[in-house]
Chains A and B, each alone.
Chain A
Amino acid sequence: MTHPILDIDLLRVEYPSAASTSVAVQGVSITVQPGERVGLVGESGSGKSTLAFATMGLLKAPGVVTSGSISVAGRVMTGLPDSEFASMRGSSVSMIYQDPFTFLNPLVRVGDQIGEVLQLHSKASRREARVAAAVILDELGLGPGAATARKYPHQLSGGQRQRVIIGMALVGSPQLVIADEPTTALDVTVQAQILRLLSREIDVHKTALLLISHDLDVIRLMCDRVYVMLKGEVVEQGPVDQIFSAPQHPYTQALLASSRRDTVREAAQRRVALMSAGATEEGASL
């Protein structure tokens, strides 16, 4: 039997404050098997990003895991010091963030930023890291990699920067990549390129994917299984085909209807009917 690469068990995350404590994640259990593609959908405030940051050991203060556990590659991470999380980040699990404009350091050449991931884990010398960065830039369609590696982030477009971020996530050969809204800031044609690239790369590297998105179409396209989050809880989960064709929970049903623009279409049809009725009335009164 294979062990899940990610096993989140009854996790609870709170943001305590003097006035009141808000519970961002409550009793959430999620598993990702090796090589599996899992989606996490929900709207803003549903707790999906908090879950990702908790997994990376990067919860923003005062956020704190108050109960439950997170295991990565069979190792329980919750309760461990930051240094343990740091050794895991980039090598076992890495994360692709939403915004390609703020994530990269503007003062460091992109090749060095990719190479740094390997050097941090002492997986490579400086020279080896440089070569690895050039190779992965080539692989990501940013060739010639050696020349691109010498560029600074501002010399790249949004789509190119997102490729660099994908490179940083994959260069350490992690078993799991968490992608938090990786294409939300991008144009639709660039989004399609990035999704294609991400899909190909995780196939080639046999990496598991936890894809966080508010876009159900993106989840349907990229994932095998999906969890639906609402107000810090998972309300429904299952294979993508099943959830999308026969959603059980009222919230999932509402989300799908919104995504298909059902109510907007109905309003548009009402409008067309009323407008043409009005036009006939005007015609008759003339």
Chain B
Amino acid sequence: MSALSLKNVTKIYSTGSVFGSRGQFRALDDLSIDVQEGEIVGLVGESGSGKSTAARIGSGLLSPSTGEVSLLGTRIDGLSQRELRGSRADLGFIFQNPYGSINPRDTIGRAISLPFRIHRRTMSASEIKTAVLDLLERVGLAPAEEFYGKSPSQLSGGQRQRVAIARAIALRPPMLIADEPVSALDVTIAGQILELMLDIQTELRSSILFISHDLGLVQTMCDRVLVMNKGRVVEQGLPSDVLANPSDPYTKQLIAAMPSRMTRKDLVG
């Protein structure tokens, strides 16, 4: 069964400018994405490609203009936020910015306990605290008791992203969406966060839709890759195949522009 499926999804924004001209912007154009159970799928594209819009639609944060979105076989497009609440427990979302995704006034413990307080109404306060401490340990924020009472401002970027991961996996959701989870982090810290994500995925067997601008990273992390340009998937396949034999002109351009693949010769001419 597919964990997450977007079928023929289109998203249109109407654009009114100060000069009065009216137009339509097609952020997603007949987009289909299918993430199978246990699979890590990479969604690659540059800014404006529609990859973040796709992530938001996949998570129910945004409704598509047309098309179907299903989470674990259940349609979630067109549902109200209230109706979505049940499905939300099945999906964890990890945002790019570890500084903006946690309420600065919450303690770390409270931030991570949020999913339990919403979706596990029968859990007692002490049960929730135990679960949160376990999660802190799991994401490498030890001693957990110490991190539990800290405020986000006392944490480094990497530590905050660990908190974001702890919250996203709190309910052991079958589906995770990660939107550029390490692009704001230093490369050594990014490596640790990615390792953590891979280990947790192996443990929970969750599916991951991994959104990134970094084709090299997606090759390392993912089972399958989809390349997006201008709201469409222009190429997909096994990461090693796509990198070795890209068929789409835009994919070729993207690969040729990777600094790791460029040589001095490519700088001339």
Contact = CB atoms under 8 A, between A and B. Distances in A.
A214 interface: yes
A263 B192 CA distance: 8
A270 B221 CA distance: 11
Given A258-B188, A264-B194, A188 B254 contact: yes
Interface stretch (A5-13, A22-30, A77-85, A216-224): A216-224
Interface residues of A, number: 36
A264 B267 contact: no
A192 B187 contact: no
Contact of A275 (B194, B202, B258, B266): B202
B213 A263 contact: no
A151 interface: no
Interface string A146-179: 0000000000000000000000000000000000
B220 A264 contact: yes
Contacts of A281: none
A36 to B, nearest CB: 15
B254 A264 contact: no
A232 B188 CA distance: 17
A270 B267 contact: no
Contact of B38 (A190, A218, A254, A275): A275
A214 B187 contact: yes
A261 B257 contact: no
Contacts of A33: none
Interface stretch (A92-100, A106-114, A193-201): A193-201
Nearest to B44: A188
Given A43-B186, A264-B220, A217 B195 contact: no
B interface SS class:
helix
A44 B198 contact: no
A43 B188 contact: yes
Contacts of B187: 43, 214, 216, 255, 258-259
A218 B259 contact: yes
Contact of B267 (A200, A262, A278): A200
B216 interface: yes
B198 A271 contact: yes
B61 interface: no
Interface string B239-269: 0000000000000011011111011101110
B146 interface: no
Interface string A246-280: 00000000110011011111011011001100100
B142 interface: no
B96 interface: no
A164 to B, nearest CB: 19
B262 A261 contact: no
Given A189-B253, A195-B267, A268 B191 contact: no
A221 B213 contact: no
B190 interface: yes
Contact of B194 (A188, A217, A220, A267): A267
A interface SS class:
helix
Interface in B163-220: 186-192, 194-195, 198-199, 201-202, 205, 213-217, 220
A67 interface: no
Contacts of B259: 188, 191-192, 195, 215, 217-218, 220-221
Interface residues of B, number: 37
B31 to A, nearest CB: 20
Contacts of B221: 264, 268
A199 B267 contact: yes
A86 B11 CA distance: 51
Nearest to B264: A221
Contacts of B257: 188-189, 191-192
Contacts of A196: 266-268
Interface in A1-55: 43-44
Contacts of A195: 259, 262, 267
B47 interface: yes
A98 to B, nearest CB: 14
Contacts of A265: 220
Contacts of A192: 256-257, 259, 262, 266
Nearest to B267: A199
Contact of B186 (A44, A270, A271): A44
A119 B268 CA distance: 32
B106 interface: no
B202 A274 contact: yes
A44 B190 CA distance: 13
Contacts of A215: 259
B205 A278 contact: yes
Contacts of A259: 187
Contact of B201 (A254, A262, A271): A271
A269 B251 CA distance: 25
Nearest to B198: A267
A254 B38 CA distance: 31
6 contacts: A191-B257, A191-B259, A195-B259, A255-B187, A268-B198, A268-B220
